[in-house]
Copies of this chain bind each other. A is one copy, B any other.
Amino acid sequence: MKWGRIELEGHAVDVRLEGGEVVGHGGRRFPLAGTKLLPPVIPGNFYAAGLNFRAHVEWANAHSGSSYKVPAQADIGYRSNNALIGSGAEIVIPADSTGPVHYEGELVAVIGKRARDLSEANALDCVAGYTLGNDVSERAWQKSDRTLWRAKNSDTFKPMGPWIADGLDPMNQVIDVRVNGKTVSRYNTGGMIFGVAHYLARMSRYMTLHPGDVVWFGCDGPTVPALQAGDLVEMENSAIGVLANRVVREAPA
């Protein structure tokens, strides 16, 4: 099953996807074409693994002067809801951004059940389904600022969607990232340093997981070329669909 949210007459409406049609509560049906997709969920807690693929850590250190270590334990980080947009909405590069802006194509787990003290064996039972996230990152601010606030959480920097899909193995998903139709990154989630079940079990030792919480699991490999105004950036997974966003640049004040 696939589900998410659309905007209808100015309101967010929960829907499911059925054979090319969008179906709301009570069976109301709309054609998918022309539908404005919203982020499929607005989380109560917005978690992100950050560095979770060895090749991405090595690439970042080689290409950006950073000195990230391969994490020795699964420490979860945070992103913020203000930055969320759905598939089809524009990524806006702030007018005063000086650094390259990169995509990062990630698998996202959406929590379905309240959970605490999960074991790795049962951790995936609390997941309702999976979606895709683009962890858009302004690399100059990522270096200059004390936190990741505007580097990772400027408005529109967290495209998520298009749909939440269930029934898939999170440790064997191919994520294909395209810029202007050309594949720039393609990897299998099986390369995670810490897998989905390990992260959820460890997090739930200290933190209650709540329905609607999301966990972004990091990206593999390089994240170039840098995004330019006019670019179309897409992430695709065969079970989830295509998360597609056009890039624009904010006009100077």
Q: Are B83 and A149 in contact (CB under 8 A)?
A: no
Of the residues B42, B50, B207, contact of A82 by C-beta under 8 Å? B207
Q: Does A44 contact B (CB under 8 A)?
A: yes
Give Cα distance in the complex from A148 to B25, angstroms.
40
Number of copies: 2
Q: Are B145 and A203 in contact (CB under 8 A)?
A: no
**Which of A145, A155, A207 has the most CB atoms of chain B within a 10 A radius of its CB?**
A207
Q: Size of chain A's interface in residues, with CB distance under 8 A?
A: 38
Q: How far is the CB of A98 from chain B (nearest CB, A)?
A: 14
Of the residues B75, B94, B206, contact of A94 by C-beta under 8 Å? B206
Give Cα distance in the complex from A147 to B42, angstroms.
23
Q: Are A80 and B149 in contact (CB under 8 A)?
A: no
Name the interface residues of A44-83: CB closer than 8 Å to any CB of B. 44-47, 50-51, 71, 73, 75-83
Give Cα distance in the complex from A117 to B117, angstroms.
42
Q: Are A206 and B150 in contact (CB under 8 A)?
A: yes
Q: Are B75 and A147 in contact (CB under 8 A)?
A: yes
Q: Does A131 contact B (CB under 8 A)?
A: no
Q: Does A178 contact B (CB under 8 A)?
A: no
Which chain B positions have C-beta within 8 A of A253? 117
Of the residues B42, B116, B145, B153, contact of A44 by C-beta under 8 Å? B42
Q: Does A208 contact B (CB under 8 A)?
A: yes
Which chain B positions have C-beta within 8 A of A79? 78
Enumerate chain A interface residues (CB-CB to B < 8 A): 42, 44-47, 50-51, 71, 73, 75-83, 94, 116-117, 145-147, 149-150, 153-155, 203, 205-210, 213, 253
Q: A80-B207, A82-B213, A154-B206 are in contact. List 13 more A-B contacts (CB 8 A).
A: A44-B81, A45-B81, A75-B145, A75-B146, A75-B147, A76-B147, A77-B146, A77-B147, A82-B208, A94-B205, A117-B253, A153-B207, A155-B206
